[in-house]
Chains A and B, each alone.
Chain A
């Protein structure tokens, strides 16, 4: 089942999402990228109802891009997160709400620190040092409580992420096969392999 993780460290943020695209009990695709790069220093992992996820993610992606084109600078992570949360919250009380859960992670170039926001389909938002969505969260959050260090280096951060991924693979019946992992820091976004 769909699982995504994110954690902050010293000057960086790591985000990981599984790459499975499934319908009912059937895997349709195993290399789906479920982390969008919204702006040079902002990542969004999305999961939830198939269809809603892509529609909503593209809507957000294009609005954030439009702001950047109009103003020549990108929204800061906190401002982008507030706008996106509002979009989800307004959708919740509409005729057909999007059911999409999000992890928003960015690096604020004005203050030089990483920010992570946990957002669910109701429009609940919390700024957190680490976060997870999906069945994986039941295993990963307690591991992160124990091993997360906000001052850890990137190598240490990736090692903590590996603990989470390994634990989910070991204990979850419906564990995903592969993950895509992205890092955002002062230099922008890049993909990494474990």
Chain B
């Protein structure tokens, strides 16, 4: 029965469902995990990096947790995003987000408020569930941002064009497990230094692989610069991620060392 209704995005099934949207969401739940936690003094974002093979050249690869507003000098970058889903769709959406942010900067001479950016993205995503003969974007996003109206914020948007604000959330593979872990462990007015630990611990329990290292993980934190009181995004380099994992006691087991002792 479903086959008659699920090939077009714009057509409801008799049960009142939009199958293409549900399929898009299904596609996302197989993608690399992205996890975000909102703290009192910042937002923490971590993403699983899917490496398809040893020969893949990662030097030119886009980071999944890519900065949406890499604005130099003034004003400062105020939003970072994590994407889960089809990489090609994500690149297109990230480009749209960056353009929207720059258009806001051009009109209002201020960084785009975080919720407004999420709304701009969702207007776009919703359009693809209603018009044309095109498929929806197979992408969910997490937006970690700061604006003077609501301070630090964390939003999630899905392929239907819905968005919602969160204290801690997760998209991609095993998001259910991660969400219930976060629900147990999240405390109101958590600080960034504790949120970093929470994110990494949850990530290590969520990801399929047994070891956690910079080759499979991306990590970013948005905080306020103590000197300028402006938002400052820090996307960690691989060496910094490994150092962080060591300090959190989540470093991968050194298998070679174990082999030697055995």
In the complex, A touching B (Cβ < 8 A) = yes
Question: Footprint of B on A, CB under 8 Å?
Answer: 71, 73, 75-76, 78-80, 82-83, 86, 110-111
Q: Residue on A with the closest CB to B150?
A: A73
Contact A76 B107 (CB under 8 A): no
Partner of B108, one of A82, A110, A111: A82
Q: Mark interface residues in B104-120 (1 if CB within 8 Å of A CB, else 0).
A: 00011110010110000
A184 and B113 CA atoms in complex are apart in Å by 24
Interface size class for chain B?
under 10
A86 contact set on B, CB distance < 8 A: 107
B53 contact set on A, CB distance < 8 A: none
A83 contact set on B, CB distance < 8 A: 107-108
B148 contact set on A, CB distance < 8 A: 76, 110-111
CB distance from A140 to the nearest CB of B (A): 28
Contact of A71 with B113 at beta-carbon distance under 8 Å, contacts A76-B148, A110-B148, A110-B149 already known: yes
A173 and B50 CA atoms in complex are apart in Å by 78
CB distance from B210 to the nearest CB of A (A): 46
B113 contact set on A, CB distance < 8 A: 71
A80 and B108 CA atoms in complex are apart in Å by 7
Q: Residue on A with the closest CB to B113?
A: A71
Contact A73 B107 (CB under 8 A): no
Contact A78 B109 (CB under 8 A): yes
Centre residue among B109, B113, B115, B148 by max chain A CB count within 10 A:
B109
Query: Can you list 10 A-B contacts with CB-CB less than 8 angstroms, sorted by A residue number?
Result: A71-B115, A75-B108, A76-B148, A78-B110, A82-B107, A82-B109, A83-B108, A86-B107, A110-B149, A111-B148
CB distance from A72 to the nearest CB of B (A): 9
A78 contact set on B, CB distance < 8 A: 109-110
A111 contact set on B, CB distance < 8 A: 148
A27 and B116 CA atoms in complex are apart in Å by 46
A80 contact set on B, CB distance < 8 A: 108
A76 contact set on B, CB distance < 8 A: 110, 148
A79 contact set on B, CB distance < 8 A: 108-110
* CB under 8 Å from chain A, chain B span 98-146: 107-110, 113, 115-116
Contact A73 B149 (CB under 8 A): yes
B116 contact set on A, CB distance < 8 A: 71
A110 and B107 CA atoms in complex are apart in Å by 20
A75 and B147 CA atoms in complex are apart in Å by 12
A76 and B111 CA atoms in complex are apart in Å by 12
